[in-house]
Amino acid sequence: MAARYTYAEQTDMLLVLGFCEENLRQSSKIYKERFPNRYVPNYRTLGDRLEDDPGASPVIMPTPLNGVAYLNFLQNTLPDLMDDLPLDLRANMRFLHDGAPPHFTLNV
């Protein structure tokens, strides 16, 4: 029986996966370090999660990320990424902001 993960756990997996630039083995290791009291998915589980859900892949933002680059992403890149996703997936997806300063720029 496959393990079931809460939305919070799935979100944390994706954040760690993005942090590790989609390196599955490294992501599993970092997830274990950050969340020692949780069931730790192995790297294959993380890979299966990405294959099962085409909208689950994190987007690596340009560095340095500032308000102008983030606004450009929201206005130009994100809509193109969303066009490739089925409507039922788009209706249930989560867009995560990590609280970085560019998210609070006045023009964003």
47 and 73, same domain (yes or no): no
Cα gap 62→70, rounded to integer Å: 9
Position 57 in a domain: no
Mean pLDDT along residues 3-26:
80
42 and 77, same domain (yes or no): no
Q: Which of 21-25, 58-62, 77-81, 84-88 has the lowest mean pLDDT?
A: 58-62
Position 36 in a domain: yes
Position 11 in a domain: yes
- pLDDT exceeds 70 at position 80: yes
SS (H, E, C) 10-60: HHHHHHHHHHCCCCHHHHHHHHHHHCCCCCCCCHHHHHHHHHHCCCCCCCC
pLDDT value of residue 11: 77
Q: How many domains does the chain have?
A: 2
Is the pTM value of this prediction over 0.75? no
18 and 45, same domain (yes or no): yes
Position 62 in a domain: no
16 and 39, same domain (yes or no): yes
Under 8 Å between Cβ of 20 and 26: yes
Domain that holds residue 39: 7-52
Position 15 in a domain: yes
47 and 77, same domain (yes or no): no
Position 59 in a domain: no
Position 58 in a domain: no
Position 79 in a domain: yes
